[in-house]
A and B are shown apart, each in its own frame.
Chain A
Amino acid sequence: MPVLEVRHLRKSFGAVNAVEDISFTVEAGEVFTIIGPNGAGKTTTLEMIEGLQVPDSGQIEFGELSWVKNSEQIKTSIGVQPQSSALFDLLTVEENLDLFATFYPKSKPASEVLEMINLTDQRNKQVRKLSGGQKQRLAIGLAMINDPILIFLDEPTTGLDPQARRNIWDIILKLKALGKTTILTTHYMEEAEKLSDRVCIVDQGKVVTLDTPAALIDRLTQEREVRLTFIDGAEAAIETEKIAQTQSAVVRTSRDGDALQLWTTQPEETLYEVFGFTKGRGFRVEQISIREMSLEDVFIAFTGKEWRD
């Protein structure tokens, strides 16, 4: 059952079309990630869904609810962690949670949320004395204080060190285990690949592609890059390259000294043939690798843009 359905969203500011045509459906219990280059329309899309902006056209439906008729109900059933961790700096962690709790008709006990975001020891610390990662965790805590059905996490790990990022991933996975639906945006491909059930790539105000990370990678062209290096030096590499080029699956090759690169649509088949040849000739292979395709390749393939990391 979809928790959120977005159809043909459109929004322009003056002459700039921030969002041209965005549609997607978010299913209950999934982590749905939106990625895209800067200025792709991610933030505008999120803000329209969060009710901060009114779309020029298109529909946003939370099950039966829509912003026009049910804004109070929607607000009580969503939780938002905005990009700038907007917190009351002069209040303590627990005071922030308590204050936000009173905004909602029902809320989780603060102690439970503190446990989830692992800030129980810092509960009496003022926010201004927290580290960046702790602030971000509190912002996520505030997004779940009302026990929402749908949680928005807008770049929750940007600017954090690897350990702090991993702490946030843990929270996202815990939320998923609780059956919450999460809409995530991120700068980190690794993160999108690790956490998301489905990834939606947005560019120039449109949805470019949408699927599970694995399916997206699969959908990429079937050529895989195979690298081989030889102990027996450049001669072995030259010989092997010649053999490889006779294979129909091999699209192209490239050689640099004793290092050989092959691009093949059937890596298994090609390697079988190549090893048969090297074994027969007694060439010893030093290293072999098949480069894995990542979401980053998907991103580059679909948007034609380098990913900034």
Chain B
Amino acid sequence: MNSMKQFSKMFSAQIKMMFREKQVWFWNIFFPVILMVLFMVIFGGGSSESFKAKIAIVDSQPNAASAMLLEQLQQIPVFKWESEQPVTLEAGNRLVEKQDIDALIILPETESATTIKLVVNKADEQGATTQAVSGILDQFIQQANWTAAGATPTFSLAKTSISSGADDLNYADFLLTGMIGLSVAQGGLFGMVGLVEMRRNGLMKRLRMTPARMGLYGLAGMLVKLLLGIVQIIILTLIGVFGFGANLHINIFSLVIAFLAGGLVFNAMGYLFSSFSKSIEAYMGMSNIASMLMMFLSGVFFPLESLPTWLQPVTQMLPLTYFVEGMRDGLIYNSGIASGAFWAGIGVMVIWGVVSFLVGSQVYKAKSVSDAQ
């Protein structure tokens, strides 16, 4: 029997089946793209250049000092003025109440008074904008104090930011790689639905009555799924780079290794779920739970550091954490395969993959005996 011919037929048959199934297109291509675009639009715009605080100023008793402060405040680029001219105290308070402005700044009422007041809405008190405005104002006042005292500051702060890899890492890069990780993972977790269907409609039994090599069939299916993963990576990357200005620094070795490990682990998990599932609904349920849990606990959308500390051990057990990290290593950090952390992550994925596969096979074996009844 010609195994090569059998394998290539099985492969081409499964490719055809995959591309003819609209569900595959929706869940593996369209859905991740929509999700990524949404996240990019909602969270991607929050960089410092576009930060603006809308303010108004009350200058109830204009005098030389307040005129000077007013002029300098107008130089601060992030403040967007409600009106060119100062407003009255009542009008200003109303604007705050209605949250038409982020903050109201009240200049000293007399030349000798020294307090500048900041009024914000109670609802915004803990907000990032309030913190920022108050910080900017603090600095401004300090500057004013020094000027008033005729001193020059001894220390000054020069700000630059560093990312773990390349200089120009931004949220678009982070989210893009997270989404790639997530969609490849989902492709695997949900990808065994065909297997459940084959058992339900008797095709599995039918194939067992032929001399077909089921191992070859599985291998061909695995290859088809890897191919789908590559398509996902390419499409999401193109959208991320050209639509949202993501910057890639690709290290092909770590990318390929992480991708293969991810392909193994999530297909194996899908296989495990399929072994437990009598119906497609049951399978989809299990895959959904796993995918939802990992989606939020594996640093897909937000850095892991933003999660509470007590959750950290959980995230460190999940394969998606390492897969997403691996994708970032390979796509944006340009970190090579020399790092120990990289291999530790691959190790965790491989363990998950092998254990899932072995348990799945055992369940299938036990089932094929009881199915026969």
Report A's interface with B, CB cutoff 8 A: 13, 47, 50-53, 72, 75-76, 78, 80, 82-84, 86-91, 95, 98-100, 102-105, 126, 142, 146
Contact = CB atoms under 8 A, between A and B. Distances in A.
A272 to B, nearest CB: 57
A20 to B, nearest CB: 16
A52 B1 contact: no
Nearest to A128: B20
A91 B203 contact: no
Given A13-B373, A53-B372, A103 B212 contact: yes
| Interface hub of A89, A90, A105 (most chain B Cβ within 10 A) | A90
B13 A95 contact: yes
Nearest to B213: A103
B16 A90 contact: yes
Contact of B209 (A80, A88, A102): A80
B209 A52 contact: yes
B206 A126 contact: no
Contacts of B208: 52
B136 to A, nearest CB: 61
A102 B6 contact: yes
A86 B202 contact: yes
A82 B209 CA distance: 10
A50 B2 CA distance: 24
Given A84-B202, A95-B13, A102-B9, 17 more contacts: A75-B209, A80-B206, A80-B209, A82-B202, A82-B209, A84-B201, A86-B201, A86-B203, A86-B205, A88-B203, A90-B21, A91-B17, A99-B9, A102-B6, A104-B1, A105-B1, A146-B210
B210 A100 contact: yes
Nearest to B2: A102
A98 B17 contact: no
23 contacts: A51-B209, A78-B209, A80-B206, A80-B209, A84-B201, A86-B202, A87-B203, A88-B17, A88-B203, A90-B20, A90-B21, A91-B16, A95-B16, A98-B9, A99-B13, A102-B5, A103-B207, A103-B210, A104-B1, A104-B210, A105-B211, A142-B206, A146-B210
B10 interface: yes
Interface string B1-39: 110011001100100110011000000000000000000
A208 B17 CA distance: 46
Interface of B: 1-2, 5-6, 9-10, 13, 16-17, 20-21, 201-212, 372-373
A104 B20 CA distance: 26
Report the 5 A-B pairs with minimum CB-CB distance, sorted nearest first: A86-B206, A103-B212, A86-B202, A84-B202, A86-B203
Contacts of A98: 9
| Interface hub of B20, B205, B210 (most chain A Cβ within 10 A) | B210
Contact of B211 (A13, A50, A75, A95): A75
Contacts of A99: 9-10, 13
A22 to B, nearest CB: 17
Nearest to B8: A102
B210 to A, nearest CB: 4
A90 B202 contact: no
Contacts of B373: 13
A45 to B, nearest CB: 13
Contacts of B13: 88, 91, 95, 99
A82 B202 CA distance: 8
A86 B5 CA distance: 23
Given A90-B16, A98-B9, A99-B10, A72 B205 contact: no
A245 to B, nearest CB: 56
A52 B206 CA distance: 10
B240 to A, nearest CB: 31
Nearest to B370: A13
A142 to B, nearest CB: 8
Contact of B205 (A78, A82, A102): A82
A82 B208 CA distance: 12
A205 to B, nearest CB: 14
B16 A103 contact: no
A90 to B, nearest CB: 4
A103 B2 CA distance: 9
Contacts of B207: 103
